[in-house]
Every structure is written in structure tokens, then in C-alpha cells.
Amino acid sequence: MNDMAESAALAAADYKSGYKPVWCPGCGDYGVLGAVTRALAILQRPPHEVAVVSGIGCSSRIPAYTSCYGFHGVHGRALAAGTGLKVARPDLTVIVAGGDGDGYSIGGNHFLHACRRNVDLTYIVMDNHVYGMTKGQASPTTEPDWDSKLAPGGTGVRSFHPLVIALAAGANFIARAFSGDSGGAAEIIAQAIRHPGFSFVEVMSPCVTFRPEQKDWKQSVRRTGVPETGDPAQAARRIMTDDGFNIGVLYAGDRPVYARERAATVTPAELEAEFAL
């Protein structure tokens, strides 16, 4: 077993399809692609046993850039598609990925219910606090005073705190990563995939085109010095009081994972008896 694993060891590059991404030069999403492929190499999971599921947005283009099975669905419904896939095919490793608009706005309801359902999958949000694909509108994580064509002078609406919401809704693993620290993000994503249940990784991924100021995130982020906690109260305090630039695993819980009894105890023909007179 060991020999085989060594001789056939998969490198991060083996998880890339080789298609040229549509992303702008410098987009944070390149770093996320690098982190996901490195994480899979850490886990040595064969690409054909991994499915990457997404919605719509710049970030949601990620499945086709991997050499895994991919599913690029409709805007906001990636978690639903990923949930159906994982429940029907528990043998696969399922990674759901997308943007902050996709996951927190149009897909917000699915986010809440995916957290509480706790199906064993990993959800990566590439958060750039903007709708990149539709060219620069405010998303739920955009600051209230950020000026845009659709909301001159800002939306005036308070931004959404995905990590607190995930914790309150029951996510079993919560982490923050930074696309500019691809190696660190890879470690976090690998840990998220290994962790049973719904694992949520919020990756700060700059949109250099519509939020050029996010290039400064590099200077602001830091790896959190404290070890992860399994205590939701402690995690809540930590998440609520940090400045949004702490990178690392913030919560790792042990809630029961959504699972269903699978062995068949009847055949369809046996069910007929119920109707026969």
C-alpha cells in the first residue's frame, strides 16, 4: 500500500486540468485554485474520486480548472447540488466552491441549511466583497459605504458576517484562509476536507479589478496564534472580536454528521404486497 502510494504520488499539478482560467491577471482565485490542488495532493485523493461543484461567478469557474469531476451549475445553488451529490454518492469527496454573492446572497438560504444539515462536504467561499462577474456591484459582505454604479455612495446596508452565521447555523468546521498564502490555505482546506460534516472555509480572495485596494490584504492578514476550539461559545467570542484578518481554523466541532442507513432490506417487488388486494 505504502509502496504504491509512493510510486504513484500525486502532485498538485496532477489536479489541474490545464485549461487557461478566464480570471484577470492577479485575481485571488488563482491562489485558491493552487490551494485546492495542493490540498488534494496532501490528501492523495485520486482526482476522479473528487467532485468540485459550483454556482455562477468568476470564482465559480474553478471546477473546470481542476482535473476532478466538476459541476458548474446555476447561480446560488451550488450547495444544493453538492448536497444531493454527496448524499447520493457518499463515497466521493465533494468540494463546493463559489463567491460571496453566490453563497451569501442568492444562495443564502442554502448556506444556512447546509450548515445545520451537516452533510460531509467542504464549502469554500472565495470572498472578494464584490460581484466580480457582473462587473462590480456590492455583495452581502461589501462595506456599507463602498461606492458602486448600482449603489452610488454605498448601499448603507450593514455587511454580513458569514463565520458567525455559520457557527450559529451549526457548521461543524469553520476557518478563514487567504488566497495570497496558498500553502497555508492548502493546509486549512486539507484539514477541512478531512473533518467530518459540513466544513466551511472562507477564503479572502482579492478582486484586483473591482476592489484594487484588496491588494493590501497581504499586509493585513496574520496566522492566528491560538489553537482551534471545539467550544462554540469560545469560537463565537473569537470570531466576533477579531478584525477579520486572522487566518486559521476558528472552530472544529463534533456534531453528528448527516447520514442515512443504506443497506436495502426489501426489493421493489416486495413493496407491491402493500397494494395487492
Partner 1 sequence: MTAGTLLLDAAARAGLYGLMVRTSGPQIRGGEAAALLRLGPQPLATLDDRFDMLLAIDWQNLHRFADEIPLGPASLIVGDSGEGEAPEALLASGAQAVALPLKKTVKGATGAWVNMVALGFGGAIAGLPVEVLEEALRASWKRNPQALEANLTVLRQGFAFAAGLEGKRPQPLAMPAVAPAGRWLISGNEAAGFGAIRAGVRFVAAYPITPATEVLEWLAPALTRLGGTLLQAEDELASINMIIGAAYGGVPSLTATAGPGLALMTEAIGLAVTAEVPIVIVDVMRGGPSTGIPAKSEQSDLSFAVDGLPGDAPRLVLAPTSIGDCLTTTEWAVRLAEALQAPAIVLSDQFMGQSRAVVDQPPATGGTAQRLVAAANTPGYLRYADTPSGISPMAIPGTPGTTYTADGLEHTEKGIPSSQATDHSRQLDKRERKLMQYDYGPRWADVEGEADLAIITFGSTTGAVREAIARSALQGVGLRLVALRLLAPLQPAALDRALAGVRQVLVVEQNHGGQLLRYLRSRYDLPGRATGLHRPGPLPLRPGELTAAFIDWAAVQGSREGRA
Ligand X SMILES: Cc1ncc(C[n+]2csc(CCOP(=O)(O)OP(=O)(O)O)c2C)c(N)n1
Q: Say whether residue 38 binds ligand X (CB under 6 A).
A: no
Binding mask 117-156 for ligand X (x = CB under 6 A): ---------x-x-xxxxx----x-----------------
37 interacts with partner 1 by CB under 8 A: no
Residue 179 or 191 with smaller CB distance to ligand SF4 = 179
What residues have CB less than 8 Å from 239, skipping those under 6 apart?
161, 163, 164, 167, 174, 250, 251
Asked if 35 and 182 count as a contact pair (C-beta separation under 8 A), the reply is yes
Nearer to partner 1 (CB atom), residue 213 or residue 270: 270
User: Is residue 45 within 8 Å of 143, Cβ to Cβ?
Assistant: no
* Minimum distance from residue 264 beta carbon to partner 1 (Å): 4
Residue 59 in contact with ligand X, rule: CB under 6 A: yes
Contact 226, 152 (CB under 8 A): no
Bridge-based pairing of strands 199-204 and 222-223 is unpaired
246 touches ligand X (CB under 6 A):
no
Q: Can you tell me the distance from the alpha carbon of 248 to that of 187, in angstroms, rounded to the nearest whole number?
A: 9
Residue/partner pairs of 269-273 with CB below 8 Å, 24 or more apart: none
Which of 28, 34, 99, 162 contacts ligand X by CB under 6 A?
A: 99
Q: Can you read off the three cell numbers belonging to residue 247?
A: 487566518
Contacts with ligand X, residue ranges (CB under 6 A):
56-59, 75, 98-102, 126, 128, 130-134, 139
Contacts with partner 1, residue ranges (CB under 8 A):
19, 46-49, 51-53, 56, 61, 63-64, 67-74, 76-77, 80-89, 91-92, 109-110, 112-113, 260-268, 271-272, 275-277
